[in-house]
C-alpha cells in the first residue's frame, strides 16, 4: 500500500493551520473540479486525491492519527489496543478476536504493523491461531446532474469486479455520503469485508439555486407589468406556470410557489417550495413618443 503524503497533495507545511488547509483545499478543488475539466482523467484523479487529503487533514483527530501512523492511520485504535494487550499479558496473547481494517496482499502490510505483531502478515497469532483482519473500506465518487436526482433512480456500479445495484433516492444532496455495508475490500483469514462509501457530486446546470428541498430563482418582469399588473409565465423544473402580477409590484418582491421545489430526501411525494424574486426590467432605447409619456408622468409628480 503506497504512502500518500497528504500535506504534499495540498501543498501545505506539516505545521499548517486548519484555516490554511481549508484554503489550500478550496483552491485545488476548484482547479481540478470535473465540471471545469470534462473528460480529463488526470484532473479527476487529482480531484479525488485532494478531497481525500482534506478529509484527513481537516479533521483534528484523523490528522493526529495520520501524523503518528502514516499510511496506517486508519488502524491506530487497533494498534494501540494490541500494544496494550501485549504489554499486559506478554507475547502469548491470542489476537484472533481482533479485526483490522486493511486491504491488498500480505506484502501490503507496513513494517510497523509487522513488527508490532511479530510478523503478523503471515496470518497467524503466537499460538498458531489465525488472525482475522477486516477488509479495507472503499471510497468512490458518483457524479450526477441536478435533474438526475430529481427522481429516484437505480444504477449498477462495478466495484472490485462485482456488480452492485444501487437505488439513489430523489433529493439526495451534493456532497452527501452513503455507506453500503460489506461491499469494500474482502476480509483476510475470515475477517469481515470492509464497507463502500459513495460520495455524490451533483452538478447544478439549471438556472435555479438549491438549498435543501427549496429552489430559488430571480425572474425579470417588464416595467409595465410591474406598474399595471398582468399575467406572466415562469419556468419551474417541471415546466412553465402562469402567474398573476399585482399592480404596483415593487422591485425585489418575493413570491412562493408551494410544492414547486425539489423532492425531499427519502420522503416520497413531498417537495420543497420555489421562491421567485421579481426584478423589474427598466426599458432602454425609448422612442421619442415613449420618452414623452414618461415626461408627462413626471409632470404629474407621480412617485
Is residue 153 within 8 Å of 146, Cβ to Cβ?
Answer: no
**DSSP H/E element including 275:** strand 274-281
In this structure, what DSSP letter does residue 240 have? E
Average pLDDT over residues 138-145: 89
**Residue 243: is its pLDDT beyond 70?**
yes
With a CB cutoff of 8 Å and minimum separation 6, the contacts of 82 are 95, 98, 116, 117
pLDDT digits (tens, 9 = 90+) for 52-106: 889 889 989 888 888 877 766 666 666 666 656 555 544 433 333 333 333 333 3
pLDDT digits (tens, 9 = 90+) for 28-60: 988 998 888 888 889 888 999 899 889 889 989
Confidence of residue 131 (pLDDT cuts 50, 70, 90): low
What size, in residues, is the chain?
303
In this structure, what DSSP letter does residue 108 have? G
Is residue 276 within 8 Å of 221, Cβ to Cβ?
Answer: no
**Residue 121: is its pLDDT beyond 70?**
no
Give me the pLDDT at residue 174, please.
92
- In 3D, which of 15, 116, 142 has the Cα closest to residue 67? 15
**Residue 117: is its pLDDT beyond 60?**
no
Q: Rounded to two decimals, what is the model's pTM?
A: 0.55
Confidence of residue 183 (pLDDT cuts 50, 70, 90): confident
**Residue 11: is its pLDDT beyond 90?**
yes
Q: Count of CB atoms within 10 A of residue 136's CB?
A: 23
Q: Which residue(s) pair with 239 in the sheet? A: 236
**Residue 130: is its pLDDT beyond 70?**
no
Confidence of residue 242 (pLDDT cuts 50, 70, 90): very high
Better pLDDT: 127 or 212: 212
Average pLDDT over residues 208-232: 94
Mean pLDDT, the chain, whole residue set: 80
How far apart, in whole angstroms, are the C-alpha atoms of residue 178 and residue 232?
42
In this structure, what DSSP letter does residue 70 have? G
Amino acid at each position: 500500500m503506497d504512502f500518500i503524503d497528504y500535506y504534499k497533495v495540498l501543498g501545505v507545511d506539516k505545521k499548517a493551520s486548519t484555516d490554511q488547509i481549508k484554503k489550500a483545499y478550496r483552491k485545488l478543488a476548484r482547479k481540478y473540479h470535473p465540471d471545469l475539466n470534462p473528460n480529463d482523467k488526470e484532473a479527476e484523479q487529482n480531484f479525488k486525491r485532494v478531497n481525500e487529503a482534506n478529509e484527513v487533514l481537516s479533521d483534528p483527530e484523523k490528522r493526529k492519527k495520520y501524523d503518528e501512523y502514516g499510511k496506517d492511520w486508519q488502524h491506530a485504535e487497533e494498534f494501540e489496543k494490541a500494544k496494550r494487550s501485549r504489554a499486559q499479558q506478554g507475547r502469548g496473547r491470542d489476537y484472533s478476536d481482533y479485526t483490522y481494517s486493511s486491504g491488498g496482499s500480505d506484502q501490503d502490510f507496513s513494517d510497523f504493523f509487522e513488527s508490532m505483531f511479530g510478523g503478523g502478515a503471515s496470518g497467524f497469532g503466537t499460538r498458531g491461531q489465525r488472525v482475522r483482519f477486516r477488509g479495507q473500506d472503499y471510497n468512490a465518487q458518483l457524479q450526477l446532474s441536478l435533474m438526475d436526482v430529481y427522481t429516484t433512480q437505480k444504477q449498477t456500479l462495478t466495484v472490485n469486479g462485482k456488480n452492485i445495484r444501487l437505488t439513489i433516492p430523489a433529493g439526495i444532496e451534493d456532497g452527501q455520503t452513503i455507506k453500503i455495508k460489506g461491499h469494500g475490500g474482502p476480509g483476510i483469514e475470515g475477517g469481515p469485508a470492509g464497507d463502500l462509501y459513495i460520495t455524490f457530486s451533483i452538478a447544478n446546470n439549471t438556472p435555479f439555486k438549491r438549498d435543501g428541498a427549496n429552489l430559488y430563482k430571480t425572474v425579470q418582469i417588464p416595467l409595465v407589468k410591474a406598474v399595471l399588473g398582468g399575467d406572466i409565465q415562469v419556468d419551474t423544473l417541471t415546466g412553465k406556470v402562469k402567474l398573476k402580477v399585482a399592480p404596483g409590484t415593487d422591485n425585489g418582491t418575493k413570491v412562493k410557489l408551494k410544492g414547486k421545489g425539489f423532492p425531499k430526501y427519502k420522503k416520497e411525494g413531498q417537495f420543497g417550495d420555489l421562491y421567485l424574486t421579481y426584478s423589474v426590467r427598466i426599458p432602454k432605447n425609448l422612442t421619442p413618443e415613449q420618452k414623452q409619456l414618461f415626461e408627462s408622468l413626471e409632470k404629474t409628480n407621480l412617485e
